[in-house]
Amino acid sequence: MKRRTLMQGLAKTAVACALPLAALAQAYDTSRIVTIGGATTEIVFALGEADRLVARDSTSLHPPAAQDLPDIGYMRALAAEGVLSVQPTLILTEPGAGPPETISVLEAAALPLVVVPAPYSAEGILTKITAIGDALGVPDKAQTLADQVRAELDDVAAQVANDTDAPKRVLFVLSTQGGRIMASGTNTAADGIITLAGGINAIDQFEGYRQLTAEAISTAAPDVVLMMDREGDHSSTAETLFTMPEMSTTPAAQTGALVKMDGLLLLGFGPRTPKAAQALHDVLQEQS
């Protein structure tokens, strides 16, 4: 079976066969599932279907019970042997799994591999939940979870709509490796969560992640710097960050506004995203 997106590939087939998508998805053997991507794994757990999981990738760290499953490696550096060793009957993955050579081997093994849509928006989360529920043949459970998440997202959106202060300009810094600022542009998870929380991404000149020049940082003029609460190159103290020459003149540096959050919670775009958006919204309001 060829690699495909669930909503595109299966939906087209469903129309041809005149069968509901969920019913068609039951053509899969879902007794031994591997999940690739933290949010995908979280959703399977949230649907109460974790007993079908036989392994997960290294980004799947929540809920803690997920860490009891065999780890097949980082989603962008998978080894086909590791995936096949757990004898999966279905792989659920988010876009970006690889490398291509590994995907080719899995396809050659006729192993069903469903790529779940993962846009960085409120609707994108609901689509992801629905797609996974359909793949597992539990659309009713998925609808219940999607309704719950939608209500929570709507609550945050209502708070944002009632904010009276000007939105904060937020610079998401992925790393400071080598003294260079690697930051998030548009069409990224960071851009999406900043928007849901009522902020403005201070970088809108490009898509994805890039190293910023001093001029770009000055032009961005962030009120707040947002980072993941991690170690190594993804970490920096406020003192270190704001004494960098290119950062020292920004509004964020003047107030010491550095916010750190759990990376998987912040960027996962899964069932906990309303919690992440609420937390970031509250912090941004405290900066007013």
| CATH at residue 133 | 3.40.50.1980
**Nearest to residue 68, comparing CAs of 89, 29, 41?**
41
Residue 92 covered by a domain: yes
Residue 274 covered by a domain: yes
Residue 3 covered by a domain: no
Which pLDDT belongs to residue 12?
34
**Nearest to residue 220, comparing CAs of 254, 246, 194?**
246
Residues 149 and 175 in one domain: no
Residues 117 and 170 in one domain: no
Residue ranges in the chain modelled with pLDDT below 70: 1-27, 232-234, 288
Which pLDDT belongs to residue 11?
33
Residues 182 and 218 in one domain: yes
Residues 141 and 92 in one domain: yes
Residue 86 covered by a domain: yes
Residues 238 and 276 in one domain: yes
Among 157, 181, 199, residue at a domain's last position? 157
Q: Tokens 């996974």 identify what position?
A: 132
Which pLDDT belongs to residue 26?
56
Which pLDDT belongs to residue 234?
64
Residue 19 covered by a domain: no
Give the range of the structural domain holding residue 243, as residue numbers without chain letter: 163-287
Structure tokens at 61: 């760290």
Residues 115 and 203 in one domain: no
Residues 153 and 167 in one domain: no
Among 157, 173, 208, residue at a domain's last position? 157
Say if residues 273 and 267 touch (Cβ distance below 8 Å). Answer: no
Which pLDDT belongs to residue 118?
86
Distances (CA, A) of 102 to 79, 107, 113, 198, 282: 6, 9, 12, 39, 42
Report the number of distinct structural domains present in the chain. 2
Which pLDDT belongs to residue 32?
96
Q: How far apart are CA 206 and CA 217, in angstroms?
A: 13
Residues 65 and 110 in one domain: yes
Residues 140 and 185 in one domain: no
**Nearest to residue 272, comparing CAs of 172, 193, 215?**
193
Among 124, 157, 190, residue at a domain's last position? 157
Residues 198 and 152 in one domain: no
Phi/psi at 194 (5° precision) = -60, -45
Task: Work out whether strand 224-228 and strand 258-261 pair parallel, antiparallel, or are unpaired.
Answer: parallel
Which pLDDT belongs to residue 82?
95
Residues 123 and 149 in one domain: yes
Residues 279 and 184 in one domain: yes
